[in-house]
Amino acid sequence: MSDCADYTETLTFTSCDYNTIGTQTMTGGALSGFVTKTLEIFPDTDRIRIDIGETEGTFKIESVELICMEQMENHLYDMAGNLEEEMQA
């Protein structure tokens, strides 16, 4: 994940992740568990870029979740990012 100012953070998944987390199991070729990781990035711009690449085996991405922490900490905004004044109108 990177911003437009060349600031980059990397998150890597490997086949060894299930050994430490213990939730990933294979049953009949189907994935019955999952591995979740979190990455915090504080970009210097208002845009970010997510690059997803395969380095080891085959994997399935179920979801990517982005949370804007600035809005969560600012009491003028609700969880959807709407101004409280707009909600009251």
Domain-embedded: residue 49:
yes
Mean pLDDT taken over the chain: 66
Task: Classify residue 33: in a domain, yes or no.
Answer: yes
Overall number of domains in the chain: 1
Tell whether 83 is covered by a domain. Answer: no
- Is position 56 within any domain? yes
Q: Whole-structure pTM over 0.75, yes or no?
A: no
For residue 39, being part of any structural domain is answered with yes
Range of the domain at 47: 1-63
Q: For residue 89, tell me if it sits in a domain.
A: no
List of residues 6+ apart from 52 with CB closer than 8 A = 61
Q: Is residue 88 part of a domain?
A: no
pLDDT tens per residue across span 32-73: 566 777 878 888 888 888 887 776 667 777 788 887 776 545
Predicted pLDDT at 25: 43
Residue-level pLDDT at 88: 54
Q: Is residue 57 part of a domain?
A: yes
